[in-house]
Structure 1
Amino acid sequence: MTLHARLFAATALATALAAPAFAQEESQATTVGADVIIVTAQRREQNLQDVPIAVSAFTADALEERAISDVSQLSNIAPNVTLDAGTPFSGSGAVLSAYIRGIGANDFAFNIDPGVGIYLDGVYLARTVGANQDLLDVERIEVLRGPQGTLFGRNTIGGAINIVTRAPGDEFMIRADATTGSYDRIQLRATMDLPLAEGLAASLSSSFHDRDGYLRRVPFGDSRADNSRDFTAFRHVDFETDDDEGDDHNWSVRGRLDWDNGGRFRASFTGDYSDTDQNQIANQVIATTEFVPGPFAGLAENNIPGTALDVVTGSSGFLFAGLYNFCINASPADLAARNAANLCGTRTGVGGYGTVAGLADPLLGGVNFPGNPAPDLLPYDSRFVSSNIDESYADGNNFSRLENWGVAGTFEFDLSDELTLKSITAYRELHWLVGMDLDSSPLPILHTSFEMNQQQFSQEVQLLGSLFDDTLDFVAGAYYFEESGNLHDFVTFAEGLLQVDGPNDLATENYAFFGQIDWRVTDWLGLTVGGRYTHENKEFEGFQSDLNGFNYDLFNCLPVGPFCAAILGFPDPNQPFRYYPSGTQEKVFENFSPRAGIQVFPNDDLMFYFTWSRGYKTGGWTTRLSNPLPTAPDFNEEEVESFELGAKTYLFDRMMTLNAAVFTTEYTGIQLNFQQGVSPTIQNAGDARISGAELEISIVPNDIFRLDASLGVIDAEYTSVLPQSVVGANPFQAGVFEGAALPKTPSVTVNLSPRVRLPLGDTGSLTFAGSYTLTSSLWNDTERTFLLERPTTNLVNANLTFRPASEHWSVTAGVTNLLDERYLTTGQAQIAGGQIYGTYSRPMEWYLRAGIEF
């Protein structure tokens, strides 16, 4: 079935099912039926069914029934949403890769902003690091699809995810549970509500989670592995290793203090803190690429700058893993023929072997050649590709530590019965260190580590009103945001032949003014108009350098100093190892994002709507250089224009809700992560058109049975690609070109979530809850690497819960990934570095949970 046929079918189904509602004069109250979910998707409280945009909302009970414990798992139940725990080479499941309707970002660096905004009680989380929030003591989650720039602001070009925590109750309450399960899982959660005075109440929640990793590190079994330099011989942000990957070890706490005595003034103070100290996410090399020819040490003359980097004249040479293999096996004649004696010589620079006490730095060239007294080294090749996706031969760094906290104050004052003034003030920090062995071998072929420190402050003021007998609702506001921080990269390639040291500083200041009016013109007609003006100033300084001076050895331009630095194109000859131009870079962005819509209400149970909106995401700079550049490489903003037609309806005496939408989006200036040599670089790739449809249904015919279902179909293709961004089809990749599919965008997503609650009389009740999710195949990276493609997956979760009649305690037994589907959630084609690697999904796991509440 073509996309247009699917869109027509979805629209026809929504219209046909909605048709019976026309015959109803008014909706009838029922004792059973679909829940009324109040959301704040338009910055004010509304029934989900009255919001004229595509929104999925999930209560705390619904999340628990479907085994949803963090933000990334929401993609199992929301249509046209792809959320993954971890991005390429991030090493941490706390990093969120988020795409909605084909638009998002798949990186963690400061140089690129997310395309899906994550909000915690109205506070924007600026970084993808820490955005995969633990859903501790939440009231509901709202997933807003399509650009939300008018009301939610910066970098919500794909959509927004709004996490709303639970307000403390006015009665004392304690709720706690303990969970055990696969991989020695231990999880403890507790929540307490504490009324303090009339109108003043507090809540405190805490969670602890410990679980062993599902990927084991095993010895390779060749004594030559012991001859390679230990990973501690190179510079990293820290050093720590362990024998498994993909574990969990974190705890978090969240507190809230609310004041509401029924008067004009209300206040809420929130604070949250999380501490994660665990290993890297499970990483597995899928293939090695040491055999791919490259520009290094080609048979062409290498003493002229630029020659060795020419992929034509240097095609007889090597890339990094191949160069390492050549060096260790080369004869003196081989080294001379390729003019590679310096290239395969000692590794120098801060962080090299010579800086470690007691370690000499031998020549790398010819160590395996007969007669060389140096101990033999293992070559890097496919011998390190394990036949078991849950085993790796890695022995390098293996840690991820994240400290993430924030405080916020929300104040509301009723100026009159019709006007409310609201303020949200927030401050957040995160501190992150991660160290990874990405080559799955005992050799230091690709080791990375990062340190990020970030601070952000935001202030938002809103004026909300309802006028003319509640026929005109409006919100007007101003927003201020500032962020500063740094990210420091250390990357070791090919036994230290290239040692990247990349500290980067970034500061952002943003202010905006926004407003939206919703006017119910008549009982059957509504109009919406709104807009947001944004001004943003970014400053960046990159200090990236190579500690080993690879380019000087590559071109045989020695000694290292101003003369050779100038010849080789280093931007500052007085800093001969520095790739990045000196000085602070600055960019200023301005944007106006409008929104307009019309709603038609045939009766109280049915709404048709049309919404037009524009979205926007700022540009920045590419930071990961592996060659010197005279000017700072940058990229521009990206924009979308979206058209959405939808229907929201109650059916069958409100025992069923059906929400449907069709949409098309023009996506321009797409920011994508392209692999250029060993460097992942951000650039504007071109334009795309994204069209699709969504259908969400809830059926609640009685107190026993409930069914929630959703369907998403989407067609996301490039309509044009800039010449410098075209990647032709090759043996490794399907490529990037006009008509190619966008990454991280499955064409079909389906979810079925049944729940059956069986009353057992005075004994209690037994509840079965299940969730089935079908996700069609998708590409995990920009270039559409074949080995990183995620196949069509069928994910099944199920659990059984017993509650006594008192409902003061419960016991749940469940299983996640019942069919043991294993697929890649993220990965990188580091062809120049020597490997294609990725992270496989968690295997089937069981759990047993006991909870109490009183």
Structure 2
Amino acid sequence: MRQIQTPARPRLKRRLIAGVALAFVSFSAAHAADPDLADAPDASAAEVDRVVVTAAKQTERKAALAQGDPASISVLTADVLERRGVASTLDLVNLTPNLYQPRNTMSYSAAQYFLRGIGELDAQGEPSVGTFVDGVYITRNLGAMQELLDVADIQVDRGPVIHLGHQVEGGAVRLTTVVPDNQVRRELLAGYGSFDEIKLGVLVSGPIVEDKVYGSFAISRHQRDGTDYNRTLGRRENDIALTQARAKLRFTPNADLDFTLALDGTADDSLNRGYGNLLNADKYALNSPIYPKNRYRQAGVTATTLYRLSPDWSLSSVTAWRVFEDHANYDNTGDRFARNSSPLRYYDNAWSQDLKLSGMAGKARIVAGIYLLYEDWITRRNVNASTTFYGSPNRIVFTPVHAAIDQKTYNAAAYVQTDYDLTPRLTLTGGLRYNLERHTTEETLSWLIAGGDHTFTLTDVSQVADELAILYGAPTATAWHVKAHKSWTQLLPRLAATFQAAPGVKAYASISQGAKSGGFDFRANSPSNSRQAVTPYAPEKVTTYEAGVKSDLSGGRVRLNGAVFWNDFTDIQISAYDPLTAMSRRFNAGDGHSVGIELEAAAQITSDWSLDATASWLDTELDTYRGTYSQVVLAGGAIVPTSAHSGSPLPNAPKFQGKVASDYRLPIGLPGEFTLGVDLSYQGATFLTAANSPYNRMPPQTFLDAALRWKSPDGAWRAALRGRNLLDRRYLVWSGLGTTNGSPAYATFYSASWTDPRTVYLEVRHSF
């Protein structure tokens, strides 16, 4: 009998030390001046300050570059983020058009972005919308969440971007953190709110040796009691317990060389989200016997070098190494019998190198580069893989298994993009990206119980303890062990034209392509069919046709941007039943499209009153579905689809989204400046899975938030009293029906999770 060999994992501390050494040896990585500025196609080396660049100046330049780029882009400054009360990247929904974030994220450290109907449903999957921190690509949705104590700005690119390091299919969310320079910054943060929410933070940045060496350090702690109660376990869940830190050391030995070494880390012990059951009397109560454990640890090392080759050309290098471990227990359904629950461990080790040449040649602005990525993604998961129901005598049969999966990704890319001023008013843009990706997989699937199956009587709740003992148990025997590999190449072009229609008004049109990596199923756990693990799925590709107008009017007091677009998707990746292999797996299930309109406006009405607004309309469709349609018939005769089908809308793509935000400086005869901010946002209905079942339809949601802010006369003290969800509406953010044909009522669960209730939070910041 073959025993499973689970490789010993090096301790996080040892891997961090190795990463620091790697960063020094590679003599590269995330440059200290803003990487977005150095890498921008229309920014020459002469346009980049390398020694004394304030965060405000960097953001102003970034916003100006975004206005000139022939694409739909939003730049959210640190001031805007603070005014809107954005504490983490989980709060970005509705701040920019057509950006949607599921609020049912399993892990607090995960962030899932959907832009224009493009996104990845699985928290452990590769993002369709890439997250970049100081130019470094985050390889998984898990770990993409960032709290924002030291963030200078966030740029959201809607649509493919070929000249970033890693390829992105639907767009990118790019965070730039504080750059240490000659400016001294010291800031303390303290906050307290509902459910005993506590935030503490420290930011220090400034020169160590004037004009030569600079440093920064930021650390924050965020904790909050759970908002929901688990009746089975007798405790609250959905809490927060997060610590994040970042340190930077920057060295500018001369006017041409700029080097930064950055270290960051995250410790997240927030409990994974639990689910209630809408069939219970108390629909908000949680019932799963699975303790939703979470122990997420992440560390990263980034080295950035910016070197000026000449007045018009610069070379930048970003080298990064990142690792995380996650030990977690997931309650996937809220079922009191622990169906579909998963105790698991994840390990991720990623190294990346992005080398770029940027500059000007006559009327042409050029950026060209090469990108390399290596990732080792390891899963150790126990799960009840398959379930059979028996109407009488009320039994359910589990097949508990252990999946040991090791998947490696090798990615190499070369890209070039050129902006050429054909006339003083007309600029043409052309670009091309070549991408080579190779994926390997190795998996061992083992039984958790001799014989494979475990019978459970649904009416006997006392058996839950036995079921949990099996689910948390050790492997007994090997079901199968397989290996496979697959490679793909892509050529991704971009063509665009920008026309200066009038002073402060630009129009553009573009055609571009983006792609998301292929690979192998990272949830392969079918005991009867090892082909689920070794049958690859191809990259998903999108072709985007876009036209828009960007304008800055009334001397910069009014900004109006708008865009229309059409996306063509091919080889959409969906986890469903694949008729070609006669099994449920992740495969290229079809083709589709999305069409939409985006509007963004900002106006300084008076010196005391400003308005910001976003609006978007989106229509999506899965034009062709290559899988097999399936459905269940409930006991009452209702028919519920359990798979996608041709003509169905894509998931997590609300048709309408919008936000109106107003800030008004109050004429109060007291020391300091008082400002009242009000945010009203709307999010239309959307389906949460490709099945488009009425049981996983999220209803429309309207939120009203408000804040009263105060700033001392010298600006050293800032305080904000914020109220979130003031209407106290607990909307569904996840729901799903679990059943089989003709199953009895107690074999059915209707899982659900909800938005947080109304909360109040007081925050004080002191700069000195």
TM-score range, shorter chain: 0.7 to 0.9
Is the aligned partner of 1:464 residue 2:358?
A: yes
- Residue 584 in structure 1 maps to residue 483 in structure 2: yes
TM-score normalized by the length of structure 1:
0.74
Matched, 1:201 2:214: yes
Query: What residue identity is the alignment partner of 1:167?
Result: V
| Number of the residue aligned with 1:307 | none
CA distance in 2, matches of 1:36, 1:457: 31
Q: Does 1:851 align with 2:765?
A: yes
Q: Within 2, Cα distance between the matches of 1:547 and 1:675?
A: 25
Q: Which residue of 1 aligns with 2:607?
A: 703
User: What residue is the counterpart of 2:29 in the other structure?
Assistant: none
Q: Which residue of the other structure, out of 127, 147, 152, is the alignment partner of 1:139?
A: 152
Equivalence for 1:421: 315
Q: Which residue of 2 aligns with 1:342?
A: none
Contact persistence 1:673–1:681 (CA under 8 A): yes
Separation in structure 2 between the aligned mates of residue 775 and residue 620 of structure 1, nearest angstrom:
33
8 Å CA contact 1:206, 1:251 repeated in 2: yes
CA deviation vs aligned residue, 1:76-96 (integer Å, no higher than 9, x gap):
311111113554xxx312222
Distance 1:827 1:156 in 2: 29
Deviation at 1:635, TM superposition (A): 1.8
> How far did 1:839 drift?
2.4
2:447 maps to 1:546: yes
Alpha-carbon shift at residue 695 of structure 1 (Å): 0.5
Tell whether the 8 Å contact from 2:342 to 2:381 is kept in structure 1 after alignment.
yes
Structure 1 residues 92-491: aligned runs within 5 Å: 92-109=107-124, 112-148=125-161, 150-199=162-211, 200-219=213-232, 243-260=235-252, 263-287=255-279, 385-389=280-284, 391-438=285-332, 440=334, 443-468=337-362, 471-491=363-383
SS in 1 for 2:687: coil
- Contact 1:86/1:96 (CA < 8 Å) preserved in 2? no
In the alignment, the residues of structure 2 paired with residue 838 and residue 403 of structure 1 have an alpha-carbon distance, to the nearest angstrom, of 28
Shift of 1:519: 0.8
Q: CA deviation at 1:51?
A: 1.5
8 Å Cα contact 1:65-1:770 kept in structure 2? no
SS in structure 1 at match of 2:556: coil
- The aligned counterpart of 1:817 is 725
The answer to which of 254-263 and 161-170 deviates more is 254-263
Using the size of structure 2 for normalisation, the TM-score is 0.82
Q: How does 1:629-708 map to 2 (within 5 A)?
A: 629=529, 631=531, 632-674=534-576, 681-708=585-612
Deviations 1:738-770 (A, max 9, x none): 221110000011111111123556711101112
Q: Tell me the equivalent position of 2:21.
A: none
CA distance in 2, matches of 1:507, 1:446: 26
Match among 81, 96, 114 for residue 63 of structure 1: 81
Q: Mark the CA change 1:86 to 1:95 in structure 2 (over 3 Å): closer, same or farther.
A: farther
Distance in 2 (CA, whole Å) between partners of 1:814 and 1:630 is 53
Which residue of 1 is the match for residue 701 of structure 2?
Answer: 793
Deviation at 1:147, TM superposition (A): 1.5
SS of 1:103 mapped into structure 2:
coil
Alpha carbon RMSD of aligned pairs, Å?
A: 2.6
Cα deviation for residue 460 of structure 1 reads: 1.0
Aligned to 1:611: 510
Q: Which amino acid is the alignment partner of residue 231 of structure 2? A: V
Specify the SS of the correspondent of 1:544: strand
Q: Deviations over 1:627-656 (max 9, x none)?
A: 421533332221111100011011223210
- Structure 1 residue 781: deviation in Å? 1.2
Unaligned runs of 5+ in 1: 1-34, 220-240, 288-384, 555-574
Query: Equivalents in 2 of 1:114, 1:422: separation in Å?
Result: 25
1:406 maps to amino acid: G
| Cα distance change of structure 1 residues 760 and 726 upon mapping to structure 2, 3 Å threshold | same
| Percent identity (aligned) | 25
Pairwise CA distance, 1:539: 0.5
- For 2:155 and 2:419, the matched residues in 1 are separated by 20
CA distance in 2, matches of 1:810, 1:285: 43
Deviation at residue 451 of structure 1 after TM alignment: 0.5
Give SS of 2:729's match: coil
Secondary structure of the 1:415 match is strand
Residue in structure 2 matching 1:625, options 525, 528, 541:
525
1:345 is matched with none
1:693-728 CA deviation, whole Å, 9 max, x = no partner?
Answer: 100001013331111101110110121111436769
Q: Is the 8 A contact 1:137 1:165 kept in 2?
A: yes
More strand as a share of residues? 2
| Aligned-residue offset at 1:113 | 2.1
**2:216 and 2:595 mapped to 1: Cα distance?**
44
Report the secondary structure of 1:746's partner residue.
coil
Given residue 295 of structure 2, which amino acid in structure 1 is its aligned partner? R
Shift of 1:506: 0.7
Q: Write out per-residue CA displacement over residues 321-368 of structure 1, whole angstroms, 9 at most, x where no aligned residue.
A: xxxxxxxxxxxxxxxxxxxxxxxxxxxxxxxxxxxxxxxxxxxxxxxx
**Contact conserved, 2:238 with 2:274, CA < 8 A, in 1?**
yes
Q: CA shift at 1:772, angstroms?
A: 1.3
Look up the equivalent residue of 2:380 and give its one-letter code.
Answer: H
Q: How far apart are 1:829 and its partner, in Å?
A: 4.4
Q: 1:396 & 1:656 partners in 2: Cα distance?
A: 53
Q: Is the 8 A contact 1:694 1:712 kept in 2?
A: yes
Equivalent runs, 1:714-793 vs 2, <5 Å: 714-724=618-628, 731-733=639-641, 736-758=644-666, 760=668, 763-793=671-701
Match of 1:75 among 84, 93, 106: 93
Pair 1:606–1:543, CA change in 2 (3 A): same
Q: Aligned partners of 1:151 and 1:726: how far apart in 2?
A: 41
Asked if the contact 2:289/2:338 (under 8 Å) is kept, the reply is no
Q: Answer yes or no: is the 8 Å Cα contact 2:137–2:165 preserved in 1.
A: no
1:89-140: per-residue Cα shift (whole Å, max 9, x none)? xx3122222211001101134xx42211100000000011111222231010
Structure 1 pair 444/746, CA: closer, same or farther in 2 (3 Å)?
Answer: closer
RCO comparison, higher one (Cα < 8 Å, 6+): 1
Q: Deviations over 1:456-504 (max 9, x none)?
A: 0011110001232xx3211011111101130111124778832121111
1:831 aligned residue:
739
* CA pair 640-195 structure 1, distance change in 2 beyond 3 A: same
Matches within 5 A, 1:565-580: 578-580=478-480
SS of residue matched to 2:163 = helix
Specify the alignment match of 2:756 in structure 1: 842
* Cα distance change on mapping 1:628 and 1:442 into 2, 3 Å: closer
Note the alpha carbon deviations across 1:157-176, whole angstroms, 9 max, x for none: 11111011111241333111
8 Å contact 1:85–1:96 — kept in the other structure?
A: no
Query: Does the 8 Å contact 1:400/1:434 carry over to 2?
Result: yes
User: What is the Cα deviation at residue 811 of structure 1?
Assistant: 2.0
Contact 1:659/1:696 (<8 A) preserved = yes
User: 1:828, CA displacement in angstroms?
Assistant: 4.7
Structure 1 counterpart of 2:18: none
Match of 2:460 in 1: none
Counterpart secondary structure, 1:787: helix
Counterpart residue type for residue 519 of structure 2 = G
How far apart in 1 are the matches of 2:205 and 2:493?
A: 42
How many residue pairs are counted as aligned between the two chains? Answer: 668
For 1:756, give the aligned amino acid: Y
